[in-house]
Structure 1
Amino acid sequence: MRLPVVPTIVFAQLFGGSLWFSANGVGDALMRVWGIGPAQIGLLTNAVQLGFIVGTLGFALSGLADRYPASRIFAVCAVLGALANAAFALLAGGMTSALVLRFAVGVCLAGVYPLGMKLVVSWVPERAGHALALLVGMLTLGTALPHGLKLAGGAAWQAVLLGASALAVIAAVMIFLLGDGPHLRRRDGAPTLRMGAVLAAFRIPVFRSSAFGYFGHMWELYAMWTLVPLLVASSSLATLGSVSGLSFVIIGVGALGCFAGGLISRRTGSAPVAAVALATSGVCCALFPLVADASAGWLMAFFVLWGLSVPADSPQFSAMSARACPPEIVGSALALQNAIGFAITIVSISWGTAVVAEWGAKVSWLLLPGPVLGVIALLPLLRNPSAR
């Protein structure tokens, strides 16, 4: 009996995605035990991002993402990522070894996230926008999950990391058993995959607009997720409960934004959903310094709106990019788009964590150019309904 396709992939993405921010989920414990500060937590996050960039570039430029079954690549990478994450929990004794192991986790995640998106398109291409919204929603929950695990697990930060590793192994088994879908098979007469062939995707106008919109989105997304615990801890929200619990809610609620956007995209297309989400999160970036001193209740409502909107456009960009490309390069094109997008996050995360102590709430203005430029990149697709 075959596993249910979309639920299997999206829950596997949830479990595999828990590796991504597992170190951030225990950031306060690491700062206490290792004597480090927010900038060093930013370095640990960027080590994952850099590893992901290296991995996705390797998959994209070599064509590996389209040469071998996506389910097998996903399963192998999820297991290897789980091992690297467990080694971080049990063996890392300081920043040097920690950075190496977080980099390794990032490399492995390059075989989880983009290949998970390819699996969705290979099974249900006619519902790509909606299904990818579910998948990215689960990745968002996976990003928040370490904060939830820490909340449940108390002070044992190693247990949080080991729990994330166990979930990633479960994800590997689920995808291995599911296998690849019947779509995205190579067309007869399609050119042989060669090194760097995926770069031709940028000659496709729809892919180009979607990719540049995605790049603006990425300037904001991961920097915002990285800064959330720091902004919560320094605000009136700290009176409402633990930083981990509040961060889990603020980041995790983004899954609902992805789910809602996916449903709406079935009627409107992907481009309008992406544009509204980008505009909403951009307004939140602009207004946050003006509301940062509000009462805890109002500030939490603001953070929930920001958390809802900030990831909701991501699956729509992936759906538009996947539809724009020939089937034989979809995996490589998505990996390339991810690689460039995550390279951008390194700049915004490094800058944001370096200046947040000095800038305070005004650090959100650093994130604002991303949504603005993303909306501008989307304008050609908003004017052309057939490209949505």
Structure 2
Amino acid sequence: MTNLLTRSPLLVIVLAQLFGTSLWFSINGVWLSFSRDLGFGETELGWMTLAVQAGFISGTLALAITGLADRFGASRIFALASLLGALVNAGFILVADFLPASLLLRFLTGLCLAGIYPLGMKMVIAWTPKYAGAALAWLVGMLTLGTALPHLMRGATLGMPWQWPLLGASMLALVGGLLIWLLGDGPHLPKRAGSMMLTQGLAALRVTRFRAVAGGYIGHMWELYAFWMLVPLLVGRELERLGHSDQIIPWLAFAIIATGSIGCVLGGFLSRRLGSAWVARRALTTSGLVCLGYPLLSGAPSLILLVLLFVWGLAVIADSPQFSALAAANAPPELVGSSLSVMNAVGFGVTLPAIWLTSSLWAEQSVWVVAWLLPGPVLGLMAFRKLGPDAPPA
């Protein structure tokens, strides 16, 4: 079985990433029926999303401080995190009506995801180092599809209890962890023995080019997760204007977020010809322009705004794998795992105020909360300029 999996390691890793990251937005996918049953609103949705993000940040910082990302096998951490994440996500069902406990379990879910997403990036680099940009594009594409998957699972189970899609996400995470456990670690990334400290994980920030990539990534992250959280709300607004049933919301939300996986794969293909920096700049610029134009066009026909959401969904994540590839290429080779963990921790840190702002202001500002996301692409592009001119791969 192991030999069979090692023949197509990238396929195994991206499938495991898809299954594992279905835990991320598992609550967001069932939010309509969940909120009706328990009486929660957009503010509680924001808090639950924030709890996952906070758990992920804590987990990535723990990886950087302890050096687990570079001291132990990535496949073992990934598999263990998938198992624990599946159990915690399923356990949420038992405490869903008690907000403090539900927030704690969502935090723990995010903590487990820190052992899935960054370690998945490390495994891609370990197995396919030659075309890291294209390979990471597939990985982040699966993260995007995994984020959208709960909406699809809810659309397919309309009329059934909201608990079913949550249990489905937990089952998928178990399968993903098993696949990675059987695959094992890749041969091309050096392991570092001994104690690792956060300061060593931050060492890459002394490198000007890595710092520029990190700045672009952080700006991109300010926009990304807040947009994903807002998608069902933005779709619901347009369907209400069109007079359509809100039962279509999960299907459209899935399609818009999942479109980002196409953007990742397309960006990965272009990166092999034009370079990761070229792709990252164009994607961040496109999503920033849509972010700017969307609230200004809030009175336009709903079909136009829905098309813009698909364009935004396509571009908003397409730059992420290229930032990761550029970061891995410009970090000290022996500290790739810790450097990526630190960059992820900072990037996800800025998602907290973005999610809090947009969720808490939605009831008052509606579609105009999108304007709060614009500083991310603008500042990200300014930081990324220090990387220098685009250069195609050798």
TM range (shorter): over 0.9
RMSD over aligned CA atoms reads 1.7
| Residue in structure 1 matched with residue 183 of structure 2 by the alignment | 178
1:153 matches 2:140: no
Once the 2 structures are TM-superposed, how far is the Cα of residue 238 of structure 1 from its aligned partner? Answer: 6.4
| Residue in structure 2 matched with residue 100 of structure 1 by the alignment | 104
Once the 2 structures are TM-superposed, how far is the Cα of residue 251 of structure 1 from its aligned partner? Answer: 0.6
Partner secondary structure for residue 97 of structure 2 = coil
Give, as a single letter, the amino acid of the residue that structure 1 aligns with 2:156: A
1:34 matches 2:38: yes
| Residue in structure 1 matched with residue 134 of structure 2 by the alignment | 130
Unmatched segments (≥5 aa) in structure 1:
none
| Residue in structure 2 matched with residue 2 of structure 1 by the alignment | 4
Pick from 290, 295, 303: which aligns with 1:297? 303
Pick from 197, 200, 213: which aligns with 1:197? 200
Task: After superposition, give the CA deviation of every residue in 1:280-319 in whole Å (9 maximum; x if it has no partner).
Answer: 0111111111323333332221111011000010000100
2-side partners of 1:103 and 1:167: how far apart?
19
Alignment check: 8 A CA contact 2:295 2:370 kept? yes
Alignment check: 8 A CA contact 1:22 1:160 kept? yes
Pick from 162, 165, 168: which aligns with 1:163? 168
Pick from 272, 278, 295: which aligns with 2:284? 278
1-side partners of 2:40 and 2:388: how far apart?
46
Alignment check: 8 A CA contact 1:62 1:196 kept? no
| Residue in structure 1 matched with residue 362 of structure 2 by the alignment | 356
Once the 2 structures are TM-superposed, how far is the Cα of residue 199 of structure 1 from its aligned partner? Answer: 1.2
Once the 2 structures are TM-superposed, how far is the Cα of residue 93 of structure 1 from its aligned partner? Answer: 2.5
1:253 matches 2:259: yes
Q: Bigger shift: 152-161 or 172-181? A: 152-161
Give, as a single letter, the amino acid of the residue that structure 2 aligns with 1:2: L
Aligned residues: 386
Give, as a single letter, the amino acid of the residue that structure 1 aligns with 2:219: G
Percent of matched pairs sharing the same residue: 52
Once the 2 structures are TM-superposed, how far is the Cα of residue 384 of structure 1 from its aligned partner? Answer: 6.0
| Residue in structure 1 matched with residue 378 of structure 2 by the alignment | 372
Alignment check: 8 A CA contact 2:67 2:195 kept? no
Give, as a single letter, the amino acid of the residue that structure 1 aligns with 2:349: A
Would the alpha carbon gap of residues 294 and 277 (structure 1) be closer, same or farther in structure 2, given more than 3 Å must change? Answer: same
Once the 2 structures are TM-superposed, how far is the Cα of residue 206 of structure 1 from its aligned partner? Answer: 1.5
Unmatched segments (≥5 aa) in structure 2:
none
Alignment check: 8 A CA contact 1:272 1:382 kept? no
Runs of 4+ in 1 over 6 A off after TM superposition: none
Task: After superposition, give the CA deviation of every residue in 1:229-286 in whole Å (9 maximum; x if it has no partner).
Answer: 1111122366276111110111111100011000000011111111111110111111
Once the 2 structures are TM-superposed, how far is the Cα of residue 65 of structure 1 from its aligned partner? Answer: 0.4
Task: After superposition, give the CA deviation of every residue in 1:98-131 in whole Å (9 maximum; x if it has no partner).
Answer: 1010000000000000000000001111110000
Once the 2 structures are TM-superposed, how far is the Cα of residue 357 of structure 1 from its aligned partner? Answer: 1.5
Give, as a single letter, the amino acid of the residue that structure 2 aligns with 1:64: L
Partner secondary structure for residue 385 of structure 1 = coil
Q: How does 1:37-76 map to 2 (within 5 A)?
A: 37-76=41-80
Alignment check: 8 A CA contact 1:381 1:387 kept? no
2-side partners of 1:345 and 1:72: how far apart?
28
Q: Give the structure-1-normalised TM-score.
A: 0.96
Would the alpha carbon gap of residues 130 and 352 (structure 1) be closer, same or farther in structure 2, given more than 3 Å must change? Answer: same
Alignment check: 8 A CA contact 1:71 1:179 kept? yes
1:339 matches 2:345: yes
Alignment check: 8 A CA contact 1:237 1:299 kept? no
Pick from 232, 237, 242: which aligns with 2:235? 232
Alignment check: 8 A CA contact 1:255 1:308 kept? yes
Q: Give the structure-2-normalised TM-score.
A: 0.94
1:314 matches 2:317: no
1-side partners of 2:211 and 2:358: how far apart?
27
Would the alpha carbon gap of residues 53 and 238 (structure 1) be closer, same or farther in structure 2, given more than 3 Å must change? Answer: farther
| Residue in structure 1 matched with residue 143 of structure 2 by the alignment | 139
2-side partners of 1:25 and 1:78: how far apart?
19
Q: Bigger shift: 373-382 or 225-234? A: 373-382
Give, as a single letter, the amino acid of the residue that structure 2 aligns with 1:355: L
1:206 matches 2:212: no
Would the alpha carbon gap of residues 292 and 319 (structure 1) be closer, same or farther in structure 2, given more than 3 Å must change? Answer: same
Alignment check: 8 A CA contact 2:56 2:111 kept? yes
